[in-house]
A = this chain, B = another copy of it.
Amino acid sequence: MAAADLTTHPGHLARRLQQAHYLLWNTMVSEEITSPQFAVLNTLVAEPGLDQRTVGERVGLDRSTIAEVISRLGRRGLLDKVRDPEDGRRFLLRLTEEGARTHRKLTVRTARMNQVFLAPLTAEERTVFFDLIRRVADAAEGLRNPGEPLAAPH
């Protein structure tokens, strides 16, 4: 049997895209803070006091992975973890002053990096790019919990 053409395999392209992004992030944004870590900081700027599981849901990470990411951020003093007094299972998360400062700094650099990353595309193409990827990713995620309606109620 002939070999397949990987350039028409979305999984292969997705991996290459992510790797390319990873490298650019490392050189243009930060070698300390990774992109998923920034996503967590960003979520906690928008919604301070979230619990760990919900943060994971927001950024698209499962419970094990989010636990590790948060543990790293905590170790670096970028966020605080407190037991919810009203629900002893939860940890409530909140950025420290340094966490907020780091987020501000990286927000600027991230915007710059995105410009470089998307430079090959025109403005209209970028819109399409976002739209297509989002639709494919959303649909595939929807295949996971088939009982659930697409528009998540609160």
Contact = CB atoms under 8 A, between A and B. Distances in A.
A67 interface: no
A135 interface: yes
Interface residues on A, range: 35 or more
A39 B107 CA distance: 35
Number of copies of this protein chain within its complex? 2
Interface string A79-108: 000000000000000000000000110010
Which of A104, A117, A136 has the most chain B CB atoms closer than 10 A to its own CB? Answer: A136
Interface in A118-154: 118-121, 125, 128-130, 132-141, 143-144, 150-151
Contacts of A77: none
A42 to B, nearest CB: 5
Nearest to A118: B10
Contacts of A135: 120-121
Interface of A: 1-4, 6-25, 28, 35-36, 39, 42-43, 45-46, 59-60, 103-104, 107, 110-111, 114, 116-121, 125, 128-130, 132-141, 143-144, 150-151
